[in-house]
Chain A
């Protein structure tokens, strides 16, 4: 089993739809969870950052972590064509819990297309 699993899509939705993007993971030591957005031919940029379990909201974006199920989600409300990008989940464990230096584990990314 890979450490982080993410459905590559592609996912196509109409403008205004609610989008749900998900990742599952196997390492229970992961405590920091991130979502990066990557536009075509650009570098990834940090979108959301959460620590441990719970929800975090930022405008139209909500990140959700369920550590008991080893499952994280990113919800996008009122999706816009400008949200069309690849979304990568990433996670890491503090070194004290066995996380190694420099080891931010990424999912493979889900390609999202929002149609006008």
Chain B
């Protein structure tokens, strides 16, 4: 199993450009997440999905969009990139038991620089 894969590893964007960060998991997990991690600020949840066709906002969704057409893929779309979106983006997937027990598995991250 490859686990959670993310592309690209690194990208430089100009202000106002758009891009899609790709995330794929091969563990058949229903739950998928997008986080951003800024230095000294921990992980902040952007969007999450509980299954194909179902997505919801996290703590910091502004400036981002997601879709979930398959169980495996959960792309994150940045429209009109801004310097404030310079960050490291992590995708994660998990399974959750009926009692709420959950383990999240993270991808290697995408480093984004907006200039």
Contact = CB atoms under 8 A, between A and B. Distances in A.
B43 A44 contact: yes
Contacts of A103: 45
10 contacts: A32-B100, A32-B101, A32-B102, A41-B109, A42-B108, A43-B90, A102-B58, A104-B45, A108-B40, A108-B42
B56 A102 contact: yes
Contacts of B99: 94
Category for how many chain A residues contact B? 20 to 34
Interface residues of B, number: 25
Given A32-B101, A95-B100, A102 B45 contact: yes
B76 to A, nearest CB: 14
Contacts of B31: 102
A106 interface: yes
Contacts of B107: 43
Contacts of A31: 100
Given A103-B45, A109-B42, A92 B102 contact: yes
Nearest to B48: A102
Report the 9 A-B pairs with minimum CB-CB distance, sorted nearest first: A94-B100, A102-B48, A43-B106, A108-B42, A106-B43, A44-B106, A106-B42, A43-B108, A43-B109
A111 B102 CA distance: 25
A99 B100 CA distance: 9
A106 B4 CA distance: 20
Interface in B23-74: 31, 33, 40-43, 45, 48, 50, 56, 58
Contact of A49 (B33, B90, B100, B103): B103
Contacts of B45: 102-104
A14 B106 CA distance: 30
B105 interface: yes
A108 B25 CA distance: 25
Interface in B1-35: 4, 31, 33
A62 to B, nearest CB: 19
A6 B40 CA distance: 11
